Amino acid sequence: MSKLPLILAVDEDAEALERITSELQRYARDYRVVCGPSTEAALKQLEALREQDAAVAVVLAARGTQALKGEELLSRVHDLHPHAKRALLIPWGGWADEETADAIRTAMAVGHIDYYALKPWSTPDELFHRLVSEFLHEWRRANAPGRREITVIADPWSPRGYELRNLLARNGVPHAFHTCDSDEGVRHLSVCGQEGADVPVVVLPDGSALVDPEPEDIARHGTRMRTELVAPDGFDVVVVGAGPAGLAAAVYASSEGLRALVVESESIGGQAGSSTRIRNYLGFSRGVGGAELAQRAYQQAWVFGTTFLLTRDVTGLRPENGGHVVSISGGTEVEARAVVLAMGVSYRRLGISALETFEGAGVFYGSSPSEARQFTGASVFVVGGANSAGQAAVHLSRYAANVTLLVRGETLAASMSQYLVDEIAGRENIAVRVSTEVVDAKGDGRLERLVLRDASGDTTEPADALFILIGAQARAEWLPDEIERDARGFVTTGSDFETTLPGVFAIGDVRAGSVKRVASAVGEGSVVIQRVHHYLESTAATSARVP
């Protein structure tokens, strides 16, 4: 039998099936295309493929009139082949039928389908192909075996290895990961002359190897992003942070002719980069991966001419000669006429010393797409009651045998969006434990057990991983005293986003009173540039008047 990944389509309508079969032939070089009328037969085939551990890339199914409806087949695919992309096929205008609309919304809400697809109407039907191609792109990026631009070989429990993989994933760099004792890992290490290495090794596209590299080495050689300023000339505006707010400010600043520098200490995309699917960002009706959105924004800013400096922290800021001097880790100082603070927030810690010991070795703050796969078949815990914790639980449930969501409060509904509460309720392998806290962790070199406390006392539970998403604190501690902050450390601004230091603006999550959403951060990032223009014009006019 062919080893090619499968594209499967099911529709009992003979005419539609013929058109779907004909359209899907476009993919037959790289995929095994199978189309048929029976949902039961499709299910049997998918069960057999699961037994053989065969790759299934895309499944499309029409609702139909059979005992096993299309949407039910797709919900089974979700269990059998969790990585497969799934869409419900509907005829043109099918969305107007209330029952079909309900089937689509329910299946999407509980994660049983990724989207719906209109059955092809003409030949070629590029609208149909757009969805299939997007599905294949996403599937291949996340799952496909084979050659990748960059390969990481490390112990799966190595915190350094985790840090490097996380950095690559969040910067949208396609990479493969092999454990150092796997056949592939051993082969890669031997080819690059690093046999028996007990530290992480990163193999670059040209075959050279970085041994136990620093994040800066990965940024410079792996992502080919700038970590040093060639000419630290003056900039019109320096943006601190490349989350959604900073990226939007960069796009608008550069597109409007300002010389802009963005300094980012970790990875492009900020918190949004760790979100596996942002479903409420305008224009992405089936959601968009946070890293994907961030990469698009980064490229947009880069094309307009923004200079980016990665793996560097802004550490200080002082007014000088009517402008500002921005200090950057590594000893660089840059002059800027205006500064936009977009540092966002960082995850609050639980403050349990045993958990700090296991960070990267089973304990993770936030959740990145790169870790979930490692926990296939495992028992994982997520702490937190807000949307980010809910999203992490749902994402992890695709891989883990069971996910336990630990919530300090008495209900989820108080702190989480209803669509996520529903999705969690629809996942059989997610358990929610309210009024429960983590109080200790145990293990030998990696997390193995958690001690949990609820009203009935302490219990010790086996745990392969713990993801902590319990809210956040502003990353504004390094700012000079002239910049006012509220009692919780968030930067206060006027309605024009200007802080108490003229020419310094604050946007996004770091700003006191901000909404803490991708769209609002992006909105503030675009609006603030207009304020920066006003400020620059007013200071230029003032200096022109000085004799």
Ligand X SMILES: Cc1cc2nc3c(=O)[nH]c(=O)nc-3n(C[C@H](O)[C@H](O)[C@H](O)COP(=O)(O)OP(=O)(O)OC[C@H]3O[C@@H](n4cnc5c(N)ncnc54)[C@H](O)[C@@H]3O)c2cc1C
Query: Which C-beta is closer to ligand X: that of 45 or that of 370?
Result: 370
State the DSSP string of 319-358: EETTEEEEEETTTEEEEEEEEEE---EEEPP---HHHHHT
325 Cβ partners below 8 Å, 6+ apart?
317, 318, 319, 333, 334, 335, 336
E strand or H helix at 261, and its extent? strand 260-264
Give dist(CA 433, CA 420) in Å, integer: 16
At closest approach, how far in Å is the CB of 451 from ligand X? Answer: 25
Under 8 Å between Cβ of 173 and 146: no
At closest approach, how far in Å is the CB of 246 from ligand X? Answer: 5
E strand or H helix at 239, and its extent? strand 235-240
Query: Which C-beta is closer to ligand X: that of 215 or that of 244?
Result: 244
Footprint of ligand X (CB under 6 A) = 240-246, 263-266, 270-272, 274-275, 278-280, 313-314, 342-345, 366-367, 387-388, 391, 475, 508-509, 516-519, 521
At closest approach, how far in Å is the CB of 474 from ligand X? Answer: 9
Query: Which C-beta is closer to ligand X: that of 483 or that of 521?
Result: 521
Give dist(CA 29, CA 2) in Å, integer: 11
Query: Which C-beta is closer to ligand X: that of 226 or that of 279?
Result: 279
Query: Which C-beta is closer to ligand X: that of 45 or that of 276?
Result: 276
50 Cβ partners below 8 Å, 6+ apart?
80, 81
State the DSSP string of 13-58: -HHHHHHHHHHHGGGTTTSEEEEES-HHHHHHHHHHHHHTT--EEE
Q: What percent of the residues of the chain are helix, what percent strand, and what percent coil, each to the nearest 5? A: 35, 25, 40
Strand partners, 498: 505
Query: Which C-beta is closer to ligand X: that of 89 or that of 343?
Result: 343
Query: Which C-beta is closer to ligand X: that of 245 or that of 400?
Result: 245
At closest approach, how far in Å is the CB of 408 from ligand X? Answer: 18
At closest approach, how far in Å is the CB of 237 from ligand X? Answer: 15
For residue 506, CA distances in Å to 44, 157, 490, 494 come to: 57, 38, 10, 10
Strand partners, 437: 453
At closest approach, how far in Å is the CB of 461 from ligand X? Answer: 24
At closest approach, how far in Å is the CB of 245 from ligand X? Answer: 3
Query: Which C-beta is closer to ligand X: that of 159 or that of 241?
Result: 241
Query: Which C-beta is closer to ligand X: that of 35 or that of 309?
Result: 309
Query: Which C-beta is closer to ligand X: that of 128 or that of 162?
Result: 162
At closest approach, how far in Å is the CB of 344 from ligand X? Answer: 2
Q: How many CB atoms are closer than 10 A to CB 132? A: 24
Under 8 Å between Cβ of 172 and 91: no
For residue 389, CA distances in Å to 52, 236, 364, 440 come to: 34, 38, 12, 20
Query: Which C-beta is closer to ligand X: that of 72 or that of 266?
Result: 266
Give me the helices (H) in 118-228, please.
126-143, 159-170, 183-191, 215-217
Burial annotation 342-365 (CB, 10 A radius, 16+ → b, else e): bbbbbbeebebebbebbbbbbbbb
At closest approach, how far in Å is the CB of 215 from ligand X? Answer: 11
At closest approach, how far in Å is the CB of 401 from ligand X? Answer: 22
324, two tokens: 């500002």
At closest approach, how far in Å is the CB of 270 from ligand X? Answer: 2
Give dist(CA 471, CA 389) in Å, integer: 9
